[in-house]
A and B are shown apart, each in its own frame.
Chain A
């Protein structure tokens, strides 16, 4: 009986490791940009083609950069949450309209409501590449000095907003 004990223990150990592995989400790639300055860009605004926007404009305030597109189905899921967050006036929300057309982007916001103070218009996705975007939606929380403090890959959830974003925003605002 005793001779089975070690193989059994090894087997259980293996099961444990594999079970842990199954719970990891391989789609979530840790961003090397956390705690690094947000990449700079100069883009035109979605609603105002001749006005530009740059992260420099947001220096001195904590802000969210939400990468979205009208063709992105899961962006619609988090849209209501962004509307809600924007109505609380806790943080400046800037959109990055990613690989979209102006018309579709503007229409989507007209239809669903606009949670963004403004949206930057990234037609060819270049700025997206600089931010390491690979799955829309993605959301970056950027502090007063322009450093990225948090990145959400995929859809925001009420839990993420309540338990991660809001406390972090409060902390960064006091910093």
Chain B
């Protein structure tokens, strides 16, 4: 009787543990999928998309994580196959500098232009 109770307790704990690690895996999968672009429906993340390929890829992500790969290893796996495009947030590297800093360049350029114009106008107005 006693061993039966112990067995039951063990089984309950084991399933509870399995469930929590399952949930953990699901959460990691979804977090990664939210950082990746669906290749078919390009303005959606993998997490948001229900396209067949997106579902396949989510399954793939989950299995890679389950096999013990780190998040970064899984990201690298995806980039190797689909390129940087698969990352929803473009990486900061030589060919994306313009993308990242372009807006600030425009802002600074605009401000400089504005300051020059104002000074010019002031100089004209002052007799």
Contact = CB atoms under 8 A, between A and B. Distances in A.
Interface of A: 26-27, 29-33, 99, 124-126, 129-132, 134-135
Main secondary structure of the interface of B (DSSP, over half): helix
Contacts of A131: 81
B39 A129 contact: no
B82 interface: yes
Interface stretch (B17-25, B28-36, B52-60): B52-60
Interface of B: 39-40, 42, 52-53, 56-57, 60, 79-85
Contacts of B81: 32-33, 129-132
A32 B56 contact: no
Contacts of B52: 99
Given A134-B53, A134-B82, A26 B42 contact: yes
Contacts of A125: 53, 56
Given A29-B85, A32-B79, A32-B80, 19 more contacts: A26-B42, A30-B83, A31-B83, A32-B81, A32-B82, A32-B83, A32-B84, A124-B56, A125-B53, A126-B60, A129-B57, A130-B81, A132-B81, A132-B83, A134-B39, A134-B40, A134-B82, A135-B39, A135-B40
19 contacts: A26-B42, A27-B42, A29-B39, A29-B82, A29-B83, A30-B83, A30-B85, A31-B83, A32-B80, A32-B81, A32-B82, A32-B84, A124-B56, A126-B60, A129-B56, A129-B60, A131-B81, A132-B82, A135-B40
A18 B80 CA distance: 30
A32 B56 CA distance: 20
A44 to B, nearest CB: 19
A135 B81 CA distance: 14
Contacts of B40: 134-135
A33 B82 CA distance: 8
Nearest to B53: A134
Contacts of B79: 32
Contacts of A32: 79-84
